[in-house]
Structure 1
Amino acid sequence: MTESVSSHAEPLMPLTRLNKFISETGICSRREADRLIEQGCVKVNGTIAGMGVKVSAADEVSVNNKPLRAKPAPVYLVYNKPIGITCTTDPEIAENIVDAVNYKKSRIFPIGRLDKPSSGLILLTNDGDIVNKILRAGNAHEKEYIVSMDKPITADFVARMAAGVPILDTITKPCKVKKIGHNTINIILTQGLNRQIRRMASYLDFNVTSLKRVRIMNIDLGELRPGQWRYVTESELALINAMISDSSNTEEASQLEQPKAARSGPRIKDVAQPANRRARHAAQPHSPSRKPSRAGGKAGAKNGPSTQAAGKGRSSSKGSLPKNARNKRP
């Protein structure tokens, strides 16, 4: 049962979870707000608040006996992330994106992420609700990349990348792929699995040598140089809001890399592997089979490999599936 100490709110005034209400003022993250609440540092209308409390703008909230300042105006930035910058708000991590952008007027955080060795467009904001709607995989918002490989691009590679590749215990959604250079492709995704493009290429025995994001939805990187940022324009924001008007939302902020959000495809073991992979597998010595169990039909389940949490294994240098992702259902 959800607790609430809100006593001054009007009946129709919307309620917000206390941790979100605090984080939206810019003083800390939701996780940090949770710690403050657990430590008894937060009061609502003069009463120490507990976890799960919901409040409205009419409530008086204080942190460490200091009144909470008003929620700042929403901020939306377009940033050209250079290679080497880490997409985290953790101040303990060197070259984190918040320090790199150095925006002083409000606490901001990235919408999704780009790997440290990748570059290009990333959005930053202090608006948690828009983050949820843009990032959720089911909302299918486009993200466009220019990617170079370590060898020439073939028609077969383009076709297979576009059709979907088995990674992280799922099959990637069909995407748009076009060869634009000897070893370079343009690829448009509508999902954001962890290191998705690099894993897809690795599975097909290609290695990414450079990856640059040039578009998110209707926002283009344009002429921004690495390290530069600009504000999202009013017309761009209006179109974003129109595009996400029917998007699903969650109260807790979503992350860009969510393998579970994409696990609606066929099982990996049902997908035919490349011929060179089958050949390597056939060449490997097989361990002696175990004696059959007296349980009969249940022996296979007991003798099979143990399973772990899906989506957390790393691809090997050959691009093979992680051990903890083999023979598992999505």
Structure 2
Amino acid sequence: MERLQKVIAHSGVASRRKAEQLIIEGKVKVNGKVVKELGTKVAASDRVDVSGVQIERENKVYYMLYKPRSVISAVTDDKNRQVVTDFFQEIDERIYPIGRLDYETSGLLLLTNDGEFANLLMHPSNEIEKTYVARVKGIPSKFKLKELEKGVKLEDGRTAPAKVKMLSMDKKQGKSIIEITIHEGRNRQVRRMFEHIGYPVQKLKRERYGSLTLQGLTAGEGRELTPHEVKQLRTLAESAANK
């Protein structure tokens, strides 16, 4: 069951606010009956008419993308730069990214037209783990990595504990490869965490989101999630929220 104004908005007939206005004005019918109450919930099988015309309701879809670098995590861009939805032009549904990866970060990004699902995954209390691999300038000591594990104080507050693992180091070139797993979703968080301890990120990729990995995909490729994968993500988020 979904709120009536949300169903109308998702159909593309009107914005959420305009949909609410249409409901109040008595221009919306559910199964032939005028509905004027905001917050009325309708099922997928219910017929909804707006100003005498039946709306077309989108199926819920769920995709993952291996986002390349230099791509915007948005539906449109006012500077005409490439956006993540450009990689899904063959699908009819109007999808949007769940959260974001910054312009120069590559890796696993989810997209959907299911607002409830997106909000569930993005809610801070739901603690879905996201694993990144960072190439950083310099070679942090175990003490510095321990700082990241315990949490560091950024301008928007202290970060939650993280899992950190040194994968490799190159003393000759003065760089290292580090894996870090967090469950928060602050803007440029991983980059800011490494900057805080004095080892700026040169390259960053998200390799895992919950139970999902990039296995089988190359940069710019995407695929639809299986029903089992969608259910796994829901379960992860809901179980974390109920702790």
SS in structure 2 of the partner of residue 22 of structure 1: helix
Instruction: Give the number of the structure whose residues are more often strand, by fraction.
Output: 2
TM-score, normalised with respect to structure 2: 0.82
Offset at 1:223? 2.7
Among 33, 55, 62, the residue aligned to 2:16: 33
Q: Distance in 2 between matches of 1:150 and 1:90?
A: 33
Q: CA deviation at 1:244?
A: 3.1
- Aligned residues, how many? 229
Unaligned stretches of 5+ residues in structure 2: 170-175
CA distance 1:42–1:154, shift in 2 (3 Å): farther
Kindly report the root-mean-square deviation, in angstroms, between the aligned alpha carbons of the 2 structures. 2.8
Inter-partner Cα distance in structure 2 for 1:168 and 1:54: 41
| 1:80 matched to 2:66 | yes
Larger relative contact order, structure 1 or 2 (CA cutoff 8 Å, min sep 6): 2
> Which residue of the other structure, out of 125, 139, 161, is the alignment partner of 1:174?
161
Q: How does 1:149-160 map to 2 (within 5 A)?
A: 149-160=136-147
Counterpart secondary structure, 2:27: strand
Whole-angstrom CA distance in 1 between matches of 2:26 and 2:192: 44
Q: TM-score of the superposition, structure 1-length normalised?
A: 0.62
8 Å Cα contact 2:121-2:234 kept in structure 1? no
- 1:62 maps to what in 2? 50
CA separation of 1:247 and 1:49: change in aligned 2, threshold 3 A: farther
Q: Residue type matched to 2:115 in 1?
A: G
Q: Confirm or deny that 1:16 pairs with 2:3.
A: yes
Percent identity, aligned pairs only, is 27
Distance 1:165 1:47 in 2: 55
* Deviation sequence 1:258-300 (CA, Å, 0-9, x none): xxxxxxxxxxxxxxxxxxxxxxxxxxxxxxxxxxxxxxxxxxx
Q: Residue type matched to 2:215 in 1?
A: G
Change (3 A) 1:168 1:22: farther
Hey, what's the Cα distance between the residues in 2 that align with 1:98 and 1:219? Answer: 20
Q: Secondary structure at the match of 1:121?
A: strand
Distance, in Å, in 2 between the alignment partners of 1:225 and 1:244 is 27
Gaps of 5+ in 1: 1-13, 250-330
2:104 pairs, out of 106, 110, 117, with: 117
Please state how far the C-alpha of 1:93 moved relative to its aligned partner.
5.0
Aligned equivalent of 1:253: none
Whether the 8 Å CA contact 1:44–1:59 is kept in 2: the answer is: no
1:228-307, aligned counterparts within 5 Å? 228-246=221-239, 248=241
Change in 2 beyond 3 A, CA 1:91/1:205: closer
Q: Which amino acid counterpart does residue 60 of structure 1 have in structure 2?
A: V
Residues of 1 paired with 2:40 and 2:59: CA distance? 21
Shift of the 196–98 alpha-carbon distance from structure 1 to 2, 3 Å rule, reads same
- Ranges of 4+ aligned residues in structure 1 off by more than 4 Å: 35-42, 46-50
Could you say which structure has the larger radius of gyration? 1
